[in-house]
Amino acid sequence: MAEVKTLVIGYEKEFKDRDEYTCTTTLVQDGGLNIVVDPGCPKSEKILKKALTKHGLTFKDIDIVFVTHWHLDHSKSVALFPRAKILDFWEINKGDKHYFHDGKYKITKNVRVIPTPGHTRNHASLMVNTKRGTVVIMGDVFWRSNLTPKKDPFARDKKKLEESRKKVLKMADYVVPGHGKMVRVKK
């Protein structure tokens, strides 16, 4: 079974004149692969290097970087992983080679991409089967660990976002939101 480990716990704060936020960055290990999800935190190189070191890894040990969507707070540090394939909602990139998948790409027998549009048109999540149950690393389907707000000020399609939220909550035992810690889904 796959393992899911938090590298960076994201946060989100609102001020009168600005917002401050960073996304949660997650490590998934399965089938001999190391997968990093959403490497977008500020001061990424220092923070991510330290987090990976705690797990006995370096940037070169990462095989795949999965990006839930291409907002900078989720994607700006993909270049730190020199060996990694970059994977998103429908494409796999390795150097100058690009391959396309159907949006339901199976990375390993326990890890697959699922489309979760709404926050952005091209948003996807990672569904991971673990010993604890199904974990969905869902980017900004929900921003926070308390699974709010009901309104997403950046949502491109509110109807599709609501459908994606229902889908994720139905299939997941645990979720990793875009800007918070992993939480158990109350059924």
List, in order, residues 6 or more apart from 90 with CB less than 8 Å away: 100, 101, 102, 103, 122, 124
Q: How many CB atoms lie within 10 A of CB 125?
A: 28
**Could you tell me which of 56, 102, 63, 115 has the C-alpha nearest to residue 86?**
63
Q: How confident is the model at residue 79 (pLDDT cuts 50, 70, 90)?
A: very high
Domain residue ranges of the chain, discontinuous segments joined by +: 3-184
Does the pLDDT of residue 135 top 70, yes or no? Answer: yes
**Greater model confidence, 147 or 166:** 166
Quick check: 149 pLDDT over 70? no
- CA 172/CA 185 separation, integer angstroms: 7
Q: Which of 13-27, 108-122, 145-159 is predicted most confidently? A: 108-122
Reported as a single tens digit per residue, the pLDDT across 109-120 is 999 999 999 999
**Residue 136 token pair:** 């969905």
**Separation CA 114–CA 127 (nearest Å):** 7
Is residue 90 within 8 A of residue 120, CB to CB? The reply is: no
Q: Is 53 helix (H, G, I), strand (E, B) or coil?
A: helix
For residue 80, the model assigns a pLDDT of 95
85-99 tens-digit pLDDT = 999 999 999 989 999
Residues 139 and 152 sit within 8 Å (Cβ to Cβ): no
Domain range 3-184, its CATH number among 3.30.429.10, 2.40.50.140, 3.60.15.10, 3.10.110.10: 3.60.15.10
Asked whether 125 and 116 are in contact (CB, 8 A), the reply is yes
